[in-house]
Amino acid sequence: MWESGGTIEYYTFSNTQVSSEAVMKRRRDDMEIVWQTPANPPERHDYIFRDGVRYVRPYYFEFICHVKNRWARKTIVDMFADEFKGRPHEYYVSAVKSGRIQVDGEMVPISYVVQPSQKISHFLHRHEPPVMAWEVSILHKEPEVLTVCKPASVPVHPCGQYRKNTIVGILQAEHDLAPLFPIHRLDRLVSGLLILARSASKADFFRQQIEAGMVHKQYVAKVIGVFPEDEQVVNVNVNYNAQEGRSTVEVESVGIGGTKLKGKAACTKFTRISTNGTHSLVLCEPVTGRTHQIRVHLQYTGHPIANDMLYLSEEVVDRSNKGLGADRAAAKSAHSLPPVHDEECYTASTENSEEDFSIDPMCTNCPNLPPKGYDGREEALWLHCVRYTGPDWTYECPYPDWAMLG
């Protein structure tokens, strides 16, 4: 069953070594698996803190998707092996045979051929990537609006592999704040002001003002070199490549032969605040809101963010087989800069963080706490949102420690 080459596999459970047979017997005798869905809210005891890193206690979760046209007419196993490469082919065979992968709520054989629009359920032992355990500090709490200082490394809302290790999830678990509606984006490695509406109607109010160009956004960045003293306006298209996880700029409006380029119009204003001759602190005011816009526009000026591994090099980092984001893969491959230790806002408590968690014999990540490829150690990108201003409102966030140039 869960043996390999005739030898029993061993797992760590509550710091004790036990065999897979014992794990399975314990699970049969003592507990019933509870499958979570997005309807299950995060709770305070879901988190484990180790050495300044916030982990999520692994949990059972049902992923649901529907068969896309390009997946159709593949076997259920081949569909998963081709489209979801984070696990080996053998895992998907076992998952189908055991009923952890189902079609329209029914078990199917491994030879089953999927058809368009069918509902696919994947029941798995979910390990979320870790994030740094910096505090999500509340700046303003109003009846309809909440503003927080978002720490770097934490996504804003559930996406990809992240669900509980998000700003929305942490605020719900630790402050019982829900529902929350983020009204603007911040990249995962970006810190600073995050505005969350506390009702759908208030979120729509902010959305209308942002879409009408009535909201002024300000960030600070620490960049390489002496940035020009005069205001710099970068008005070049930004093209985001989802496969590579990074953006590039397009200077011309048309390509070779008059073909239209793929990039979207983008404009950012930059003003130098200070410089020490090695680095400069720059005020960044994006007029548009493209993916990685500030980062790639600063690269275009010749003054990239000083610890932005993704845009300090033209090298495209291969992340396809590691399940890593481009930022994380770039950081792992970079050796040119010393590590940064920004301890701002770190006050994470170790209470209620007992390290017991269930070990699943079928799980490809167990007995480790994080998923494969994630160690939780990341630098805070030197880009920080400091202010959002609307027609009759302003919200601000303090500057980070790294903004003080020595």
Report the DSSP beta bridge partners of residue 387.
218, 396
- Find all residues with CB under 8 Å of 53, minimum gap 6, and list them: 130, 131, 132, 133, 376, 377
Closest CA to 86 of 124, 35, 131: 124
Cα(245)–Cα(230) distance, rounded to whole angstroms?
32
User: 107: which 2 tokens?
Assistant: 């078990």
Q: Torsion angle, CA of 367/368/371/375, rounded to 10 degrees?
A: -170
Cα(141)–Cα(143) distance, rounded to whole angstroms?
7
Q: What is the largest CA-CA distance in the chain?
A: 71
Q: Are the beta carbons of 192 and 384 closer than 8 angstroms?
A: yes
Report the DSSP beta bridge partners of residue 269.
233, 285
Cα(389)–Cα(11) distance, rounded to whole angstroms?
53
Q: Are the beta carbons of 93 and 76 closer than 8 angstroms?
A: no
Closest CA to 266 of 242, 281, 283, 284: 284
Residues catalogued as catalytic: 187
Q: Provide the residue count of the chain.
A: 406
Q: Are the beta carbons of 282 and 223 closer than 8 angstroms?
A: yes
Residue 392: other Cβ atoms inside 10 A = 6
Q: 367 preceded by cis ω (within 30°)?
A: yes
Backbone angles phi, psi at 75, to 5 degrees: -70, 155
Cα(139)–Cα(308) distance, rounded to whole angstroms?
27
Backbone angles phi, psi at 257, to 5 degrees: 80, 15
Cα(332)–Cα(364) distance, rounded to whole angstroms?
22
Report the DSSP beta bridge partners of residue 385.
192, 219
